[in-house]
A and B are shown apart, each in its own frame.
Chain A
Amino acid sequence: MVNFAFKLMLRDLRSGDILMLLMALIISVSTVTTISLFIDRLQLSFEQESANLLAADRLIRSDEAIPKNWQFKARELSLKQARRTSFGTMIFSGDALQLSQLSAVTDSYPLKGAYLVDDTLFARGQPSKQPPKKGEVWLSSRLASLLNVRIGEKVEVGELQLTVAKYLVRDPGSSSSAFAISPRAVMNIRDLPSTKVIIPGSRVRYSLLLAGEPVDLENFESWVVPELKEGQRWRTPVEKGERIGDTIVKAESFLLLAGILAVVMSGIAMALASTRFVKRHLVQVAVLKTLGATPKVLIKVFSIQFVILFFTGALLGLAVGWGGQGVISSLLSGLMSTSLPEPSVGRLWLGTITGLVSMVAFCLPMMLRLIKISPMSVLHPSRKLEKNSLALYSMGFIGIYGLMCIYTKGFLLPSIMTLAMLAIGILVSIVGWMVFKLGRSLTSGATSGWQIGFASLYRRLLPNLFQLLVFTLIIMLGLVLVGVKSSIVTEWQEQLPVDAPNHYLFNVQKDQIEQINASTENLRVLRSDWYPMVRGRVISVNGKSIQTLYPEGKGEPELYERELNLTWSHSLGKGNKLLSGDFSADGLSIEQRVAKAANLSLGDTLTLNIGGNIVSLPITSVRSVDWSSMQPNFYLILPKRVLDGYSANFVSSLFISNENAQPFYKSMSQHPTVSILNVGDILKQIQTVIEQLSEAIQLVLLCILIAGALVLIASVRATLEERLEEGALLRVLGAKKALVQQSLVVEFGALGLFSGLIAAAGAEACVYALQVFIFKSQASWHPLLWALGPLIGISIITAIGLFASRIVLKVPPMHLLRDF
């Protein structure tokens, strides 16, 4: 039986029907595979990037030395470990001295990510997996300039002399302590005791870094977290990577959306191919039945074909998908700082499931229906199938919806898309019906292409409406993706212009401002406004002290945990947005995320201790702050009158290009009390990620659009036979080639125009919903969509239609009548 089924299928291959099914399956499996593998690789790469930020999988930060038994426990769980001890200290070189942020690390540091070091000042850096050797120290370029030392020379740390071996460009795991504002240096932890700089009472930050299997890390976490005392924190990469987090989340949502569209398109392709397959096999199955094929035999034959088809399609699809993501990744590799990690083979199941679900949802019911056909239909060819197609299509619908949910691991996105598609379905049916009817009544007769075209649109109303729906859906999905892509990318670019600030100046006194302004102006350095900064701490909320609210600091939100930088300002700064309340009122303006974390809202009163004075203020406005804007940002903004009496430091952010860096540092050496924080690394990281992502989603978009075009072609082909038959008939009846051509242009043109218009409307609505609910960004109009929709509709569909129908126009009509 296998043999017979296989033979039948091989013979069927020649007719192209099975090939269509196979192609649809391959398209669906391969697009989903490509996208899911690619997402996987990006995710792995983000994990690596965030590992770079943390230099480990997990980290414990402590104000006291890390207890030895923690290290034993970690070893017991076979976790890799490294330690890092950071503190501020003076580094000397001859007469020069500079307060620096020095970290001493074990040889195993970093567990994840790498140092970037270089032999020239202010260079880009080469990765290094090893920390400095015993006896060596690495200085940041700024520190080296300030101390006026070069590689090979010596500096003193406490009682020890160390040789400068490299210039430090990036210090993995340090970006978190972004507010350690002195220039950096790294040394080996084995040299630490001999420096004798750490004495009881020194402010030192100890870190224990861990890496290993997720299970072991989880075990360690559940063991160690109850042991944590005040001043000790357990950290995971996610919180650390928050800055790029938002960007990545958006990109992931986009890619998931793309995946969904791939799934929907595969569904459509599959449905089209199956319908066609069934149509062409109806009589064949009936004939087989008259020849004695029993239902059992037919079920066997078709099941075997189904299985063979599935395996062939899935395997080929997976192979094509694997290749596809490889191509995308290698296209991207030129742009990427690091090469993407290999995708995990385990992710292939998603493509396989997609193939299986779309076969089961679309192909199987059709095949079953095929098997049920009455053998009587060989004698009454017009009575073919009982029409329970609603149930059939809902099965497909459920299948697609299920796939989308599996794919996004959620319901929101699939539900939005499904609703949109339903709405479009209804809209298309109504508008299409009206237009075709109107077109028919306006043009009667059969003397011009217009008349014939509209007549045939109206005559085959149902199939044409269905085709209109397919066209509309595909164009709409494509447009949605284009719209979402362009709004995400624009948003990203606005967020991080190339001249986004990459340095902060702290500790600036009022009388230094003018001088600094002068020197930045000389160097044409871009600078933000100056913000006054006064330190203060929240001591009670609505009259209840923090100590009583959070005894021993357990569960304390960030806002109460440490001293805050307070400022005043007359206007909302760049990247700030007022969410509620009145910014100019005489009260506190709070950032929404910390407000939420501390469960605060408008009207709550905070009591602050500012330099020994106690001030109580109500919250009068809530702001959102774009943290990736790299502007100086503040959790709390106070009224000017409250902070007026205090001596404030000022803070500002600057953009300093590589060429400007050295002269700028030199000019700043006149102000040794001013601290400069270089956030260029973080910034560069964010920028690379954004660039990669923009590029990546562009490519994925292209992929989907190509798949969409293929499905369009398939759907034109699906109704081609009837059109061909008709064209041939018209020509037999004496119609000129030009007339037939004209009528086809009218037919396809009208279908294209309306699907394009409706698709644009649908896409606009969809993009709006997505922007509001999924991407949480501002909704905007997309004139591009309204232009693209009808344009694509008319040009592509007419082109595909005419191209596919070129046979009608070339071949002598006799052939056609014989073929069909």
Chain B
Amino acid sequence: MAKRTAIKVSNLTHTVTANTGDLTILKGINLEIKEGESVAIVGSSGSGKSTLLGLLAGLDVNTSGEIVLYGQAFSSLDEEKRAIIRGEYVGFIFQSFHLLPSLQAIENVMLPAELKGDEGARKKAEQLLDKVGLSHRLTHYPNQLSGGEQQRVAIARAFASSPKILFADEPTGNLDEANGKIIIKQLFELNKSQGTTLIMVTHDNELAKKCDRHMVMSEGSLVEK
């Protein structure tokens, strides 16, 4: 069965102005990712992985080229519309978790639904936290949780909006091996059960091998392996 295209990138270039002059971080990237695929991007530090990820997710606007996400070209949208798309299609997991420190675990997970004005936010959040094995820590604050636990809350939060694409930037980067494994396991399970497209930046080759596709970023260019 022919799968839908989740993201299509053509001739993507990104240039930023640094204090030393213009710096081209991404140099003509072409890429197509189908719905439900899992993609790993590896590459040395400073090669532009995070920048690419941010552009794919519509967190920033690229200098030239085009990114089309489920048929919508980001370049034609303003921040308002891009934010709506993010809320609709996209989920995120970060290296440093980025839970809101003033909110309890459950409240962090409820956040995406609340932003949309969803009624059943709490129920859904409880279910998700249960899935990542944290049903006993609903009312704990981030600083009362270990790094691994925080990342599991972050995963639950990322899936709370039932995203079609999940972006993860080194989700295990701040965790020890054991915790990293748990996170990966849960990530893939949820990914499977919800049919999400997964795009992940990682340094971990083993993790990269688990993905359907494996790409290498090197000095602003992307090569499929």
Contacts and interface: CB of A to CB of B under 8 A. Distances in A.
Interface of A: 1, 4, 7, 11-12, 14-15, 17, 280, 283-284, 286-297, 374-376, 378-381, 818-819
Given A297-B115, A379-B169, A284 B83 contact: no
Given A288-B115, A291-B87, A296-B80, A379 B54 contact: yes
Nearest to A298: B83
B88 to A, nearest CB: 7
B84 A376 contact: no
Contacts of B98: 283, 286-287, 378
Contacts, number: 87
Contacts of A4: 114-115, 117
Contacts of A295: 79-80, 83
A1 B87 CA distance: 16
13 contacts: A280-B101, A289-B59, A290-B86, A291-B161, A292-B90, A292-B116, A292-B161, A293-B83, A295-B79, A375-B59, A379-B50, A379-B94, A381-B96
Contact of B59 (A15, A378, A818, A819): A378
A375 B55 CA distance: 11
Given A294-B80, A295-B80, A376 B59 contact: yes
A297 to B, nearest CB: 7
A332 B98 CA distance: 55
Nearest to A7: B114
Nearest to B101: A15
Contacts of B54: 375-376, 379
B39 interface: no
Interface in B153-196: 157, 161, 169
Contacts of B84: 292, 294
A17 B100 CA distance: 13
A293 B169 contact: no
Q: State the main secondary structure of chain A at its contact with B.
A: helix
Given A287-B98, A287-B100, A379-B50, A294 B143 contact: no
Interface in B78-122: 79-80, 83-84, 86-88, 90, 92, 94, 96, 98, 100-103, 107, 111-112, 114-117
A284 B94 contact: no
A469 B223 CA distance: 54
Contact of A292 (B53, B60, B88, B107): B88
Contacts of B92: 290-291, 378
A287 B98 CA distance: 7
Nearest to A292: B87
A297 B112 CA distance: 12
A380 B96 CA distance: 11
A292 B50 contact: no
B57 interface: yes
B115 A293 contact: yes
Contacts of B59: 289-290, 374-376, 378-379
Nearest to A291: B112
A283 B98 CA distance: 7
A359 B25 CA distance: 41
A757 to B, nearest CB: 37
A570 to B, nearest CB: 79
Contacts of B117: 1, 4
Contact of B102 (A14, A289, A378): A14
Nearest to B114: A4
A370 to B, nearest CB: 14
Contacts of B116: 292
A11 B83 contact: no
A288 B111 contact: yes
B40 to A, nearest CB: 17
A584 to B, nearest CB: 75
Interface string B61-87: 000000000000000000110011011
Interface string B187-221: 00000000000000000000000000000000000
Nearest to A818: B143
A284 B96 contact: no
A296 B50 CA distance: 27
A714 B142 CA distance: 25
A589 to B, nearest CB: 73
Contacts of B102: 11-12, 14-15, 17, 284
Contacts of A1: 117
Contacts of A379: 50-51, 53-54, 59, 94, 169
Contacts of B94: 378-379
Interface in B116-161: 116-117, 143, 157, 161
Contacts of B83: 289, 292-295, 297
A292 B79 contact: no
A376 B114 CA distance: 22
Contacts of A292: 83-84, 86-88, 90, 112, 115-116, 161
For A7, A280, A296, A297, the residue with the greatest tally of chain B CB atoms inside 10 Å of its CB is A297
A656 to B, nearest CB: 72
Contacts of B103: 11
Nearest to A284: B100
A4 B116 CA distance: 10
Nearest 9 CB-CB pairings of A with B: A292-B87, A15-B102, A294-B83, A375-B59, A376-B60, A379-B50, A376-B59, A291-B112, A292-B86
Nearest to A381: B96
A293 B107 CA distance: 16
A428 B86 CA distance: 47
Given A375-B60, A375-B86, 5 more contacts: A4-B115, A280-B101, A290-B57, A295-B83, A297-B83
